[in-house]
Structure 1
Amino acid sequence: MKDLYPFLNQARQAGLYRRRRVLDSPQQPRLVVDGRPMLSFCSNDYLGLAADERVAEAFRQGVERWGSGSGAAHLVTGHSRAHHALEEELADFTGRERALLFSSGYLANLAVITSLCGRGDTVIQDRLDHASLIDGARLGGAALKRYAHNDMAAAEQRLAAATGETLLAVDGVFSMDGDLADLPALAALCQTHDAWLMVDDAHGLGVLGEEGRGSLARYGLDADRVPVLMGTLGKAFGTAGAFVAGSEALIETLIQKARSYIFTTALPAAVAEATRASLKILRQEDGRRERLRALVARFRQGARQLGFELPPSETPIQPLIAGEARTALDWSRALEARGVLVTPIRPPTVPEGSARLRITFSAAHALEDVDELLHALEVIAP
């Protein structure tokens, strides 16, 4: 058997070794991590719904009715009335004809790209797109062409040179930087060049736009201009899984062709019931988004006063760029010593030389929590 320890030792020496932490508490700002109380700023639970009692109660009732597992793929016997109702509600939420549930965002992105494009076709992506979008293009065999981050001139060049069926896939909110894609410009370019536009709005849904409808609502874009929308349920929704929303023809195509849908056991129906509850809260309680905006504004003002340079981001994702992986690791350890948990993000998750602390906020945070974070950041301030 091949010796893997040289690889592991290299990762340790480069400051790139990763380890799991063990939580002894629900997902919330105040955690018990590895047996120690910590104030966390590294969750994607943007609206604070992961431990919301109403969502938990819907989950409990779902288990009582449907049991703990779905038992099969959606196309066998795994597709319950709860799944079906959630798909209909997500379609209404996103303003599209239909929605299709997946067990994860990774599987959803693989499904779309491999179903719409193959050998001889072209997939175009932003350099900072999520890994699942990149892997989808590679798995499907299409030519993958990437353009510099948010560079519309480069995106147009890629579209003009594309061959075969063309799909441009992009994050609505970039997961490591928190900035938004220029979706209006990309939509116009894709219409000009007769290309599909797919938006992965994992970090925009629930956070941006009226009723939390996401990046597309933030820009006023409809299904005609953005025909493929992917969203995840494990972030602002506070549960698990993902969905693709689009036309009747798109969803039926995925059901017939997408291997990551056909050959995957369906999410437990109880998760679907919990998500139906969280979707209702997400749409109705705009105060959660208002609180997020207040938290982000307080942080950005305080961080600038400490001397940090912040990338442009109106979202709960607020990165502090350290540069080298070792520096980001040192920063994280310094905060942890003061009871604040912010995990370091290092290559290959981000490009070389852009390691960072990825600070994220939840509507469950209090303004006092932000002040505690800023006080802890004094130890690493420039």
Structure 2
Amino acid sequence: MLKKFEEVLDKRKEAGILRTLKPKSAGVDFYSNDYLGLAGNEELQEQLLQKVQEKPKLLSGSSGSRLISGNSNTTDETERYIAEQHKYPAALLFSSGYNANLALFSTLPDRHDTIIVDEQIHRSVHDACRMSHARKLKFRHNDPEDLESILKKQTGPCYIAIESLYSMDGDLAPLQEISSLAKRYNAALIIDEAHAFGVFGFGLIEKYQLQNDVFVTVITYGKALGAHGAAILCDETVKSYLVNFASPFIYTTAAQDFLWMAIKTGYEFLKQKPELSKKLHKNIEIFRNQNIDTPSSEMSPIQAVLVPDNQQLRSLQKTLSDNDFLTYAVYSPTVKIGTERLRICLHSFNTEKEIEKLTGIIKAFI
């Protein structure tokens, strides 16, 4: 058995795509999801520290799943607060966005249902669909016409799964068109706002006031909020159904109250600091003004630079690293051959000089 694993790993190593764990590097951050810099914000950390000093029990372990000994007043208060902020009837907290998607798609659809997913939906949704008894179909990325052609052929209940901002191409979904299609065909629309939350206020669902048209929204907190965990926004019936039947919720030990407190504090901090989002969008504008060819949205903090060759991409990333720029390269077969890319993440804390130097190296290279 070990020999089989070693052979597969050796092939990856020969191709130069073996994944390994490395310590966090020093350098200029153009690769993390910390879009607003909250993961290391000293003012926010002081607020969290003060709350822990006032209530040290926040650091205690939960001691069990939420259905046994792991529920608390802090958890319930945070869920009510989140639901109120997003104008949804209810919220259900999870320890990660991956777990939230596993719970949703493995539980709500049954063997008589169809899940129609954007072909670039997050891997967690694909994994969850494998746990479900429902049929899964894909539609072309951000293509409402292709989605409608699939919806027309369905005879039973359907779920539609999309992201509002996609992490690989950094492009935005046509939310209003897709929500209109979902309503027309009586399909349940599920939207993952992982990369939009914090970047666009409390997300694009709130920005376009689509709460009544979106069946379930997923918000994650490990990106712009600089924390961890996730929330499913839904109505009370869906929340109760998940609490009763979602294995990833039922059989997971609850996180300690510090996490839920940090999430609630993060929301409050976002409301206090609108200038962070403004600075981020200014930096996105500076990057776009450098005229780098990209499939990404002009409003996205994720800017993909296509470098359709693994070797060329590896050389570019090394050159950037030698200049102290931390970037993330996505090689085939993680993406299709010919669509290899450098994934640039912009932040509120990046400077104009850093952005101009980064893009100068990229333009000279490609």
Matched with 1:7 is 8
Identity of aligned residues (%): 31
Q: Name the CA shift for 1:38/1:220 in 2 (closer, same or farther; >3 Å).
A: same
Q: Distance in 1 between matches of 2:141 and 2:286?
A: 27
Residues 122-150 of structure 1: per-residue CA shift (max 9 Å, x gap): 00011111111111112102111001111
Matched with 1:106 is 98
Residues 183-228 of structure 1: per-residue CA shift (max 9 Å, x gap): 11111111111110000000011111xxx1212133332x221120
Matched with 2:184 is 192
Matched with 1:19 is 20
Letter in 2 for 1:14: A
Alignment of 1:27-46 (within 5 A): 33=25, 37-46=26-35
Q: Distance in 1 between matches of 2:364 and 2:353?
A: 18
Letter in 2 for 1:16: I
Matched with 1:370 is 355
Alignment of 1:7-156 (within 5 A): 7-23=8-24, 33=25, 37-60=26-49, 61-62=51-52, 64-156=56-148
1:283: Cα distance to partner? Answer: 2.5
Q: Matched residue of 2:40: which SS? A: coil
Q: Distance in 1 between matches of 2:193 and 2:300?
A: 12
Residues 105-162 of structure 1: per-residue CA shift (max 9 Å, x gap): 0110111112211223100011111111111112102111001111111101221223
1:328 aligned onto 2:313: yes
Letter in 2 for 1:214: G
- Kept in 2, the 8 Å contact 1:123–1:168? The answer is yes
Q: Distance in 2 between matches of 1:77 and 1:363?
A: 40
Q: Distance in 2 between matches of 1:300 and 1:162?
A: 41
Q: Distance in 2 between matches of 1:201 and 1:76?
A: 30
Tell me the matched-pair count: 361
Matched with 1:310 is 294
**Equivalent in 161, 164, 181 of residue 169 of structure 1:** 161
Alignment of 1:228-377 (within 5 A): 228-302=216-290, 304=291, 308-313=292-297, 314-377=299-362
- Kept in 2, the 8 Å contact 1:105–1:230? The answer is yes
Q: Matched residue of 2:282: which SS? A: helix
Letter in 2 for 1:57: E
- Kept in 2, the 8 Å contact 1:59–1:271? The answer is no
Q: Matched residue of 1:265: which SS? A: coil
Gaps of 5+ in 2: none
- Kept in 1, the 8 Å contact 2:193–2:204? The answer is yes
Q: Distance in 1 between matches of 2:2 and 2:177?
A: 49
Q: Distance in 1 between matches of 2:42 and 2:21?
A: 27
Letter in 1 for 2:358: L
Letter in 2 for 1:217: E
Q: Distance in 2 between matches of 1:15 and 1:6?
A: 14
Q: Distance in 1 between matches of 2:356 and 2:110?
A: 50
Greater Cα shift, 348-357 or 114-123: 348-357
Letter in 1 for 2:8: F
Q: Matched residue of 2:75: which SS? A: helix
1:40: Cα distance to partner? Answer: 1.5
Matched with 1:30 is none
Q: Matched residue of 1:161: which SS? A: coil
Q: Distance in 1 between matches of 2:124 and 2:154?
A: 21
Q: Name the CA shift for 1:327/1:120 in 2 (closer, same or farther; >3 Å).
A: farther
Q: Distance in 1 between matches of 2:46 and 2:112?
A: 49
1:99: Cα distance to partner? Answer: 0.5
Q: Name the CA shift for 1:38/1:68 in 2 (closer, same or farther; >3 Å).
A: farther
- Kept in 2, the 8 Å contact 1:16–1:346? The answer is yes
Q: Matched residue of 1:256: which SS? A: helix
Letter in 1 for 2:276: R
Q: Distance in 2 between matches of 1:170 and 1:94?
A: 18
1:58: Cα distance to partner? Answer: 4.4
Gaps of 5+ in 1: 24-32
TM-score by length of 1: 0.90
1:337: Cα distance to partner? Answer: 1.1
Residues 31-57 of structure 1: per-residue CA shift (max 9 Å, x gap): xx1xxx311100101111111224323
- Kept in 2, the 8 Å contact 1:56–1:274? The answer is no
